[in-house]
Structure 1
Amino acid sequence: MTRIIADISVSLDGFVTGPDPGPRNGLGTGGEALHTWAFSDDPDDRRVLREATVRSGAVILGRRLFDVVDGPEGWDDSSGYGADEVGKPAFVVVTTTPPTSVRLTDLDWTFVTTGLADAVATARERAEAASSAGGKDLDVILMGGGATVGSALEAGLADVLSLHLAPVVLGAGTPLFTGGAPRTLVQRSVISTSTATHLTYDVSG
C-alpha cells in the first residue's frame, strides 16, 4: 500500500533551514548542520537514509525547493536524491507556473499547477504504477520545503511524519510549523545517533 510520508530534517528549535535561504543557499546560513546525518558514516544514519530513498516511488517538492535543487548550486551525481544508492523516482513539483527550462533533464519531472492535493494525487498514481511494475510497495515522499510539508500535514494529506531532529539550535530560519489545529501523533520508532534523532509518527486517522 502506498503511503504519503512527510520526511524532513529539523533543528531543535523547529527550523528546516537557517536564516536567509535562497536559490544559491537553499539551507540558509548554518542550515547545512541539519543534514550532517545524511553524510554520516554511522550505520544507523546510513540505514535510515537508504530505507527512505529505496521506498520512494515518487517525491514531492515545493517550487522554491525545486529552484534550489535544479539551480547551479543544486543537485549533482554525488548529492542528488539518494545519490547513487537508489534508482530515480518520479519528481512532482507544486508550482503556480512551470519553469521555462530545467537543468536536471535526466530526472522525471512533473509540474502540477492546481495545488498540493492534486500534486499528492499525481504522485500517488506514479508511485502506485511503479509499485505494480516493480512488484513491491513504494511510497510518496514529501521532501519539502517546510511550507509544503507543513501544509500537507495541516490538510491531512500525509500518513506518516518522519523527522530527523538535528542537535542544533539555529535561532531563525524557515519554521516547519507555523500554527494550525492541535494534533496528537502516534510515535512508531526512534533511532538515535550522534548526528540526529530519527523520529517516525503516524499522522493519519
Structure 2
Amino acid sequence: MQKLRVESFSISIDGYGAGPNQDMDNPLGVGGQNLHQWFFPTKTFQQEVLGKNEGTTGVDNEFAERGFKNIGAWIMGRNMFSPYRGQPNTDWKGWWGDNPPYHSPVFILSNHKREPVEMEGGTIFYFVTEGIHSALEQAFKSANGKDVRLSGGVSTIRQYLTAKLIDEMHIAISPILLGKGEHLFSEIDLPTLGYACTDRVATDNATHIIIKKKTTSS
C-alpha cells in the first residue's frame, strides 16, 4: 500500500523546523541551515543533490539514503519551492539548478496557477491550487505504486499531519537551539491523532526519530 512519508526533516532541540525571516539569502530562515549539518556531509546528499561521488557513510547516511528509496513522487509547499510571494515569478524554477534531485513528479501547493515546469533528470514541477487532498491524490496517481515523499516546509507538514494523512515521519533532531522560527509540533496532539514514536537512534550529529501512524486492527 502506498504511503505518504516525511523523510530527513530536521528540527532544532526546541522544535523549530525553520528559522525566522526566510528570504532569498536565508531560504531556511536565519540559522535554519544549521539544522542540516548532519545531512550535508553524507554520501546521499553529496551524490543526490550535488552530483559528487563522495561523502560520509554510517548511520546518518543510512537515514538520508532511506528517504530516496521507493519514492515515486513528491509534495512540497509553495514557500519551499520559491522565495517569491503573491503572483509567481515564471522565470523561477527552484533552488536546485537545471537538474533537481527529485527525478520524478513534484506537486507544489500554490494559490496561483502556473503551467508545469519540466526539468532535466525527470523532474516535473506541477502547481496545485485545489489543496492538500488534491495534491496527494495526484501524487499517488503519478507515483506508479511507489510512496510519496512530503518534503515540507513546516506549514505543509502540519497541514497533512493534522489531517492524519501522513503515514510515517523520519525527524532528525539537530543539537542546536533556534529560539524562534517555524515550530513543527506546536499545539499538535500527536497521540490523539494516532501517532507514536517507533524507533530512535542517536549519532554525534542528530537524534533520528521515527514516528508512525498506528494501524487499527479489525
TM-score range normalised by the length of the shorter chain: 0.7 to 0.9
The residue that corresponds to 1:161 in the other structure is 169
CA change 1:32–1:67 in 2 (3 A) is same
Q: Aligned partners of 2:64 and 2:19: how far apart in 1? A: 22
Residue aligning to 1:191: 201
Count of aligned positions: 190
Amino acid at match of 1:176: L
Q: Which has the larger radius of gyration?
A: 2
Whole-Å separation in 2 of the counterparts to 1:77 and 1:45 = 27
Report the equivalent of 1:74: 95
Give the TM-score normalised by structure 1.
0.82
Q: Which runs of 5+ in 2 are unaligned?
A: 42-55, 84-90
- Within the alignment, does 1:4 sit opposite 2:4 as a pair? yes
**Contact 2:116 2:125 survives alignment (8 Å):** no
1:144-172 CA distances to partner (integer Å, 9 max, x unpaired)?
A: 00000011000111111211111111111
Superposition RMSD on alpha carbons, in Å? 2.6
Q: Which has the higher contact order (CA 8 A, sep 6+)?
A: 1
- Tell me the distance in 1 between the aligned counterparts of 2:24 and 2:113: 16
Given that 2:38 and 2:205 are in contact with CA atoms closer than 8 Å, whether structure 1 keeps it comes out as yes
3-state SS of the aligned residue for 2:15? coil
What's the CA shift for 1:100? 7.0
1:81/1:193 CA distance change after superposition, 3 Å: farther
**Higher share in helix:** 1
List per-residue Cα deviations over 1:71-108 (Å, max 9, x = no partner). 58822479x537xxxxx122111111134795x73321
What code does the residue aligned with 2:135 have? A
Unmatched segments (≥5 aa) in structure 1: 83-87, 132-137
Say yes or no: does 1:114 pair with 2:114.
Answer: no
* Larger deviation, residues 33-42 vs 7-16: 33-42
